[in-house]
Structure 1
Amino acid sequence: MIQAVQDLKRLREISAVVVRHGFGELWDRARIWDVLGRREDAQRPSREGVRATTARRFRETLAELGPTFIKLGQILSSRPDILPPDFIAELSHLQDRAAPMQVETVFELIEKGLGRSAHELFASIDPEPMASASIAQVHRARLASGEDVVVKVQRPGIEEQIRSDTDLLFYLARFLEGVIEETGIYTPTGIVTEFRDAMLLELDFENEARNIDEFAHNHADRPYVVIPKLYRDLSSRTVITLQELKGVKLKTALDSGDSPGIDRKQLARHVLEASFQQLFKDGLFHGDPHPGNIMVMEGNRIGLLDFGLVGRLTKQMQESIIVLVLAISLRDPDTVARLLYKVGVPDQRINLHHFRQAIHDILDRYMGRKLSEVDPGVLMSELVDLAMKYKIKIPKEYAVLSKASATTEGIVRQLDPELDITQAALPYAKQLLYDRYSPASMSGGFLRVLLQLQGFLQDTPQQLAQILMDLEGGKFNVNVRSDELSRLNTNVKALGILLFTGMLASGLIVGAFSLAGRASEGVGQTVWPLAALIGLSLAAMLFGAALSWTLLSGRVKKISLRRFLK
């Protein structure tokens, strides 16, 4: 009962702020006032408020509503697939600041999170916080060994507050979703659900610790990138302790112009190379690489900070990005359209001709320009915007990558305007393609396909037999023409032939790989690889011949399942 009263009070507070910033029409259309009742403090916006841009009023609304909504805005600022560019730019200015906690409270939270008192674990802790945000507070500290560290401590009650606020957000989203047809492919409830999941993950400092470990492993052989050392024994779900990186924030270096000891061109290459390594090799990239999250260290090394937001790319995603870049460089709108349609999730059938033409119009604007004059981040953002217009939902990994890439390119162009970003990416793209289509990778992929095919051929006859038994037993009431039964019988026989041939070919392949594995044994260094090659060739020829025979003889034909079960 108490919680219900508190929720109603909070809903009224939210409503008053929403109306004050000029978004009352949403509440009117959603009939939220029928639940809350109008209040005197739900005043209409001033003239100045009305004149402000919608994006600015949206940012001011979130800022006034507090920590949960500020974090929502920050997460949305990395999602160009959800919001248009002017909103993205406006939300990037949201500042997450909060009144600092007393140092005694910090000590209590450290003891609660780590199981021992702060005085036992640290030689000293600076009472003045380095940063104080809505989720956590950061302090400098020193270990007994003399190492300088930073300790991030989660605010008490923040998880409960975020859960409560997101529950209210979900409640409001359902109202809006029921009356606003413009919600499109990104429904309000879907956005709130995704935000809640992201926030709860960010509240788990152990997840951030895992990200740091993975980044440290990936960058271990890259001396120009520094990942802060994680102190596992001084970290938990609510406390995390990291090495303090010595240097200056990249934002400070950019704002101050030429700084002594900083080679801007070399720094630009390091930022770009780190980004390309994450994109094309690691498949794990920093989701928020703004200048405040990058340290400039001695020797023009870069130190990465804040690993709460990261993106992950599968091999297939990496390949799609390469193909997209190549298609753009070749001004091939058909391939770009097919790829965007393939990686996305269309909300409805689209006119592919119009979609291709729209992409053609975008690419036309870049005709005649050198690759060095094309800003890949801006171009990618335009394509994401176009996908939104046609209601093609782009996976969030691509959207986060688009924003992160645009941020990185902006940094690089500030540091070294002459650096050709596209040309610098080519060696990484070529290496990724080589790794994908190398003999070792191809043979492994071929074997996986054959194993999958073998499983399919093993299962299909049994499944078809079960269907026939069910039909024979009268378990289906269907009308089947005799020619379809005849076709089904023919297909069963053909699949039986393919099954036998596939199993025989698989046996030859397994034997061939076994022979190849003995290649290091004495005289077999020449004989065994040759025998393996012959075995693989026979397997491919045998299976290919059987497959061709069945297809060309018309034995495998498609069955209309709709007609079959009509």
Structure 2
Amino acid sequence: MKLSASHLKRYQQIAALLWKYGRSDLVRHLASDQAFGVSEKDSSSGTPGTPEQFAADLEAMGPTYVKLGQVLAGRPDLLPEPYLQALARLQDNVKPFPFEEVEKIVTEGIGVRLSKAFEYFSSEPIAAASLGQVHSATLRDGRPVVVKVQRPGIRQQIAEDFEVLATIATFFDNHTAVGRRYRFHSVLQEFRTTIQHELNYEREAQNLLKVGENLKEFETIQIPQPVSDYCSGSVLTMDYVRGRKITKLGPLARLEMTGSTSLAADLFKAYLKQVLLDGLFHADPHPGNVFMTDDGRIALLDLGMVGHVAPGMQEHLLKLLMAVSDGNGEEAADIVIRFSEKMEDFNAPEFRRKISQLVVRRRDQELAQLNVGRSLLDVSRNAHDNGLFVPSELTLLGKTLLQLDEVGRTLDPSFDPNASIRENVSQLMTQRMRKDLTQGNAFSTLLEMKDFASNLPGRLNRIMDAVTNSELEVKVKAVDAKMMVDGMQKIANRITTGLILAALIVGASLMMRIETPSRLLGYPSLAIICFLVAATGGLWLVVSIFIHDQRNKNKPPR
């Protein structure tokens, strides 16, 4: 395969990263050095990269790797704590691109010039991220807004980067133990889908509308709404939120906050509702995306990354959250096993033991220990370590709750998410039941019952016809074919013996009416002989059945 210059450069950069950090605690956190083919001799030579260097290297490689670092910053199940702290700075401080590019992208995206669409448009961005940057503006009607503009050429660059990453991930999956355990290619595909959704600003606008509608009952939570006429695939115009990031609140401002406990409780309840009831949730609530508004509410920003949870998985996650919050490790392990994929080396007893220890250790901890989200991610990591591949929804939920715990700790250090889960679960269950008992579901159930009742006679007739015509087939999956054949032969022998004895009795009865010169006990000799043979055979058959059944009864079970 012929590689382009850009592809070759990426391969070289990633190879350098793997060599540099393959000898550090970054890889050792995932698996042994041997899993990556790095020997102890290799490990002892050279200086391994530090967490700070790792963050700087990702930043230097471009937006794709900055975004990868942002995602990894919320994954304590994959990286050790020093790397998480180093990657956290990638949430902000990304170099902006020139205003000339901004003007060109916005004009092409909304179809009109900036001067015609906006009364005011700031030339300096108020925030710059890996995929785009945000400018403040004012519409012609005086409405303050912010305009999110996608970085030029970012789609093509990310597509090329993912081609290289996919090749490397496939290699590790096929040739390393850690790759087979974590399935890097599948994880990369999920990441690729997520980042493609983030690059579609029209989809983000729909997410803002949908999540805003789902959370309208929470007066303390604000979701900025988009201006549909000024949105496109690369431009997103939405309400301007007046406030400050949670990370920018100083100690004095936190002391002056009123109702911080209520804000934390409402925020956690809103996320439980999104995940366990709505099936659509904001999956990137890191502190940089959460604002404290000037009127004392919480604003959730950047809904490019959202999670989707199917109804069946919602029930599993609800049960898992309850088990973790109640400290029931065995129940949590059983739930994870039920909805996960078992690999060939799955070790169920070891997995149950580790999950029980994990849940007990985290039970009754306060928010400062990041218990809920971290516990779910630790469950996911232990599942991988013991040959169990968990669905991506569990990992995404764990990452989301981990980030949410950090926000909650800022609002109210004494807030207990375990208590919040126990308090809200009954209400969520009631809402789920009401959601399932809609008029459409009721009619659907009635139609299914009508179909079952109307088709039942015909189905029974077909079964009876099959029995009558000897067309009914019963398929048996034999665990031990020889044992089953021997058993069938014994049954056939007993039936055959019974039929012969019955024939002798019937034949003897018929011969009783035949007059013959040879008589025994006043009856025809042949008839009496047949009766005696039948009686002896019947007695033998009964005794043999009784003895055989007694032996089987006394045999110890295998």
Is 2:121–2:137's contact at 8 Å kept on the other side of the alignment?
A: yes
Tell me the amino acid that sits aligned with residue 8 of structure 2: L
Offset of residue 175 of structure 1: 3.4
Q: Which moved more, 1:251-260 or 1:403-412?
A: 251-260
Offset of residue 233 of structure 1: 0.3
- Does the residue aligned with 1:365 lie in a helix, a strand or coil? helix
Quickly say closer, same or farther: Cα 1:326–1:101, change in 2 above 3 A: closer
- Distance in 2 of aligned mates of 1:28 and 1:353: 26
Offset of residue 80 of structure 1: 5.1
- Does the residue aligned with 1:300 lie in a helix, a strand or coil? coil
2:448 matched to which residue of 1?
451
- Does the residue aligned with 1:111 lie in a helix, a strand or coil? helix
Matched, 1:560 2:477: yes
2:12 matched to which residue of 1?
12
Is 1:280–1:428's contact at 8 Å kept on the other side of the alignment?
A: no
Quickly say closer, same or farther: Cα 1:383–1:131, change in 2 above 3 A: same
Is 2:74–2:402's contact at 8 Å kept on the other side of the alignment?
A: no
Tell me the amino acid that sits aligned with residue 416 of structure 1: D
Choose which of 274, 285, 288 in structure 1 pairs with 2:270. Answer: 274
Matched, 1:433 2:429: yes
Tell me the amino acid that sits aligned with residue 253 of structure 1: L
Quickly say closer, same or farther: Cα 1:392–1:442, change in 2 above 3 A: farther
| Percent of aligned positions that are identical | 29
Matched, 1:186 2:182: yes
Offset of residue 272 of structure 1: 2.6
Matched, 1:134 2:51: no
Is 1:297–1:303's contact at 8 Å kept on the other side of the alignment?
A: yes
Tell me the amino acid that sits aligned with residue 115 of structure 1: G
Is 2:329–2:360's contact at 8 Å kept on the other side of the alignment?
A: no
Q: CA RMSD in A?
A: 4.2
Quickly say closer, same or farther: Cα 1:274–1:298, change in 2 above 3 A: farther
C-alpha distance after superposition, 1:487-523 (max 9, x if no partner): 99446xxxxxxxxxxxxxxxxxxxxxxxxxxxxxxxx
Offset of residue 56 of structure 1: 5.2
Is 1:79–1:400's contact at 8 Å kept on the other side of the alignment?
A: no
Tell me the amino acid that sits aligned with residue 221 of structure 1: E
Tell me the TM-score normalized by structure 1.
0.70
Offset of residue 455 of structure 1: 7.6
Is 1:152–1:239's contact at 8 Å kept on the other side of the alignment?
A: yes
Matched, 1:358 2:354: yes
Offset of residue 370 of structure 1: 7.9
- Distance in 2 of aligned mates of 1:9 and 1:84: 28
2:139 matched to which residue of 1?
143
Q: Which moved more, 1:347-356 or 1:153-162?
A: 347-356
* Larger Rg belongs to: 2
Matched, 1:400 2:317: no
1:500 matched to which residue of 2?
none
1:170 matched to which residue of 2?
166
1:199 matched to which residue of 2?
195
- Distance in 2 of aligned mates of 1:385 and 1:21: 21
Choose which of 252, 255, 258 in structure 1 pairs with 2:254. Answer: 258
Is 2:367–2:405's contact at 8 Å kept on the other side of the alignment?
A: no
- The count of corresponding residues between Structure 1 and Structure 2 is 466
Quickly say closer, same or farther: Cα 1:427–1:161, change in 2 above 3 A: same
- Distance in 2 of aligned mates of 1:143 and 1:437: 44
- Distance in 2 of aligned mates of 1:487 and 1:74: 68
2:408 matched to which residue of 1?
412
Offset of residue 182 of structure 1: 2.3
Q: Structure 1: which 5+ runs fail to align?
A: 32-43, 470-484, 492-556
- Does the residue aligned with 1:350 lie in a helix, a strand or coil? coil
- Distance in 2 of aligned mates of 1:453 and 1:351: 46
Offset of residue 102 of structure 1: 2.4
Is 2:245–2:289's contact at 8 Å kept on the other side of the alignment?
A: yes
1:312 matched to which residue of 2?
308
- Distance in 2 of aligned mates of 1:439 and 1:311: 20
- Does the residue aligned with 1:258 lie in a helix, a strand or coil? helix
Is 1:22–1:57's contact at 8 Å kept on the other side of the alignment?
A: no
- Distance in 1 of aligned mates of 2:23 and 2:471: 65
Quickly say closer, same or farther: Cα 1:325–1:453, change in 2 above 3 A: farther
Quickly say closer, same or farther: Cα 1:172–1:65, change in 2 above 3 A: same
Is 1:80–1:384's contact at 8 Å kept on the other side of the alignment?
A: no
Choose which of 180, 205, 214 in structure 1 pairs with 2:210. Answer: 214
Offset of residue 394 of structure 1: 1.8
2:89 matched to which residue of 1?
93
Matched, 1:223 2:219: yes
Is 1:329–1:371's contact at 8 Å kept on the other side of the alignment?
A: no
- Distance in 1 of aligned mates of 2:136 and 2:366: 45
Quickly say closer, same or farther: Cα 1:558–1:324, change in 2 above 3 A: farther
